[in-house]
Chain A
Amino acid sequence: MIQIAVVSGKGGTGKTILTASLATLLSQEKVLIDADVDAANLALLLSPTDRKTQEFKGMDGAVIDTSVCIGCGICREACVYDAIRKAGDIYEIVPYRCEGCGTCTIVCPEDAVSMAPRITGMIHYADTSAGPLLYGSLTPGSGNSGLLVHRLRQEAGLLHPDVPLVLIDGPPGIGCPLISTITGIQIAILVTEPSTSAQSDLQRLITLCRSFHVRMFLVINRADVNQNITEDILRVAAENEIPVFGMIPFDRTVLRATRQGVPVTRMAGAASEAIRQITQNLSQELDLL
Chain B
Amino acid sequence: MIVCIPSRGLTVDSQMDDRFGRAPYFAFFDTDTDSVRVEPNPHAGGSGGVGPMAVQFLVKNNVQILIAPRLGGNADEALKAASIRVIMQNPDVTVQTAYNTWKANPENAS
Contact = CB atoms under 8 A, between A and B. Distances in A.
A and B touch in the complex (CB under 8 A): yes
Interface of A: 58-59, 100, 144, 146-147, 150, 154, 157, 161, 183-184
For B22, B47, B48, which residue has the most chain A Cβ atoms within 10 angstroms?
B47
B47 A58 contact: yes
A59 B70 contact: no
Given A183-B72, A184-B70, A147 B22 contact: no
A100 B18 CA distance: 29
Nearest to A57: B45
B109 to A, nearest CB: 22
A183 B20 CA distance: 13
- Secondary structure of the B contact surface, majority rule: loop
Interface of B: 15, 18-19, 22, 47-48, 70, 72
A157 B19 CA distance: 11
A59 B22 contact: no
B72 A59 contact: no
A147 B47 contact: yes
A147 B48 CA distance: 7
A51 to B, nearest CB: 22
Contacts of B70: 184
10 contacts: A59-B47, A100-B47, A144-B47, A147-B48, A150-B22, A154-B22, A157-B18, A161-B15, A183-B72, A184-B70
Nearest to B17: A157
Contacts of B72: 183
A275 B48 CA distance: 37
Contacts of A184: 19, 70
A130 to B, nearest CB: 24
Nearest to B24: A158
B41 to A, nearest CB: 13
A59 B48 CA distance: 9
Q: List the 9 closest A-B pairs by CB distance, nearest first.
A: A59-B47, A147-B47, A58-B47, A154-B22, A147-B48, A144-B47, A184-B70, A183-B72, A100-B47
A55 B70 CA distance: 29
Contacts of B15: 161
Given A58-B47, A146-B48, 6 more contacts: A59-B47, A100-B47, A147-B48, A157-B18, A183-B72, A184-B70
A43 to B, nearest CB: 25
Nearest to A146: B48
B78 to A, nearest CB: 17
A177 to B, nearest CB: 13
A58 B45 CA distance: 9
Contacts of A146: 48
Nearest to A161: B15
A90 to B, nearest CB: 28
Contacts of A58: 47
A62 to B, nearest CB: 15
A146 B70 CA distance: 20
Contacts of A183: 72
Contacts of B22: 150, 154
Contacts of B18: 157
Nearest to A151: B45
A146 B49 CA distance: 12
Contacts of A144: 47
Nearest to B50: A150
A92 B19 CA distance: 39
A141 B22 CA distance: 27
A159 to B, nearest CB: 12
B76 to A, nearest CB: 13
